[in-house]
Structure 1
Amino acid sequence: MSSSVVLITGALTGIGRAAAVAFAKAGHRVVVSGRKPDAGEALVRELRASGAEAEFVQADVRKEDDVRRLVDRTVERFGRLDVAVNNAGTEGKPGPITDQTAESYAATFDTNVLGVLLSMKHEARVMKGQGSGNIINISSTYGHEGAAGASIYVGSKHAVEGITKSVALELAKSGVRVNAVAPGPTDTGMLTRFTGTPENKAALVTTVPMARLGLSEELANTIVFIASEGASFITGHVLHVDGGKSH
């Protein structure tokens, strides 16, 4: 994976940002994407200051034209696409099923599911032509477990894991690997919003056998590994990085 070209969606905060830093530190060329140009350009300056080649492309993964342009711009800039980390996601609107609406469903599924689907469509288009590549989707412990008060988010992450396994089978003979990384409770802004209060966050920690939150950097290291030659015979897998929560 020497000097691979890495594309990361949802790269401006949390796990996506940590992954961008980790890939850059390992010597790879990085394209970061998100919806906020100021934050994107600031991240690129930071990555370049560390000696990495980096570009920002503004994109909204819910819009196919944006996703197509993002992938095409990556290839125009660096000539290929080796690794794609589909990290863009939203916690949506937590709450009981009786409070959910078609709008709250769409707000979550359009980013978490449609965004992954569109990203994979265009990433696979390029990678199949190359005969090589790695796609890593970011799921969650809630991609294979239930959670009261989070039915829409949980459903969206179950969908991500199902799509990951299916596309891995589609692409298995093409030289393209497709996997998911499923974080447990990780100390990010999204988790703070999702839990709502310090008490709720502390209660969530008690469900983790290792008795702490994960760090974005720990997830980033796992993402770099699953994209590497060290994981060359792994595809269609969901890697749980959750302190023992999925047991």
Structure 2
Amino acid sequence: MHPSDNSLQGRVALVTGAGKGIGRAIALAYARAGAAVCCAGRTESDVVALADDIRATGGQAMAAAVDVTQETDVDRMVASCLEAFGRLDIVVLNAGVAAEGASVEASDAQRWRQTLDVNLFGAYLCARAAIPGLKAAGGGKVIMIGSGLGHTGQPGISDYACAKAGLWMLTRVLAQELAPHQIDVNELIPGPVDTAMTATAVAQSHLQANPALQQEWLKQPEDVVPLALFLATQPPRGPTAQSFGLGRRPI
């Protein structure tokens, strides 16, 4: 989907994990819909190239290199976004890493913690830092990129499943805390998407090991865009504390 409308005209969106895959597709789509986009990611060259691509087609964008597990990095990212564009309306928390791919017994404790640090603690830091800007704008949208595995679990990916389960709970708690400020918080579950992360041997083995996932539609990052646009363009006091999925089976 390549919208040419101005449904996000005048809005400012911050997208983490924007350098590749789903995050990049969402950032490009929001820019095409008129939003100014803060493209945030760990690899500076990726987000700089993305921001350049957006500006080359007449959009507004800035790049922010960030490690979402570092509080000072996250605070600097949000401050730079507000300085560049003057407001913040939409936050897409997409930064994440894949599972280690080991049973709890065989897992590496530091690798397990790293998955939670990036996928859950990083989202917490980004949400916390963004809230004052969203409040100052009079409301907004927070979109958590979750996973059905955070609702159902699966052997061998306890780190990833627990991180995404925590993200779903964070979605529900934040939605309740921020409802008085007209800030809606929802989870977007893409299901299997063909990205660099799902191309790893660990991800492939789990896709193959789960019969239900084999029945799923393997999407391209651009296939996530319509739902990301839907959530970003809902009216104030729209759906909140909800989980929206692109899968072909119930969570």
Same fold, TM-score > 0.5, yes or no: yes
Which one of 226, 246, 249 corresponds to residue 245 of structure 1? 249
Residue aligned with 1:189, SS: coil
Question: Per-residue CA shift, 1:11-40, capped at 9, x if unaligned?
Answer: 001100110111111121111011111111
Q: Corresponding residue for 1:234? A: 239
Equivalent positions of 1:53-202 (< 5 A) are 53-193=60-200, 195=202, 200=205
> Do 1:208 and 1:245's aligned partners in 2 also have CA atoms closer than 8 Å?
no
Amino acid at match of 1:203: Q
Superposition deviation, residue 207 in structure 1: 2.4
Find the aligned partners of 1:223 and 1:204 in 2 and give their Cα distance: 29
Amino acid at match of 1:84: V
Which one of 215, 218, 236 corresponds to residue 213 of structure 1? 218
Amino acid at match of 1:159: G
Superposition deviation, residue 206 in structure 1: 5.3
Residue aligned with 1:140, SS: coil
Find the aligned partners of 1:194 and 1:236 in 2 and give their Cα distance: 33
> Do 2:100 and 2:202's aligned partners in 1 also have CA atoms closer than 8 Å?
no
1:38 to 2:45 alignment: yes
> Do 1:205 and 1:212's aligned partners in 2 also have CA atoms closer than 8 Å?
no
* CA distance 1:20–1:204, shift in 2 (3 Å): farther
> Do 2:17 and 2:41's aligned partners in 1 also have CA atoms closer than 8 Å?
yes
Residue aligned with 1:170, SS: helix
What is the TM-score of this pair, normalised by structure 2?
0.91
> Do 1:205 and 1:211's aligned partners in 2 also have CA atoms closer than 8 Å?
no
* CA distance 1:153–1:211, shift in 2 (3 Å): closer
Q: Provide the aligned C-alpha RMSD in A.
A: 1.9
Q: Corresponding residue for 2:3? A: none
* CA distance 1:212–1:76, shift in 2 (3 Å): same
Find the aligned partners of 2:203 and 2:174 in 1 and give their Cα distance: 35
Find the aligned partners of 2:168 and 2:65 in 1 and give their Cα distance: 26
What is the TM-score of this pair, normalised by structure 1?
0.92
Question: Per-residue CA shift, 1:56-108, capped at 9, x if unaligned?
Answer: 01111000111111111101000000000010000131111111132022110
Percent of residue pairs identical: 32
Q: Corresponding residue for 1:16? A: 23
Q: Corresponding residue for 1:203? A: 208
Superposition deviation, residue 230 in structure 1: 5.4
Residue aligned with 1:43, SS: helix
Superposition deviation, residue 220 in structure 1: 2.1
* CA distance 1:179–1:202, shift in 2 (3 Å): closer
> Do 1:10 and 1:33's aligned partners in 2 also have CA atoms closer than 8 Å?
yes
> Do 1:6 and 1:28's aligned partners in 2 also have CA atoms closer than 8 Å?
yes
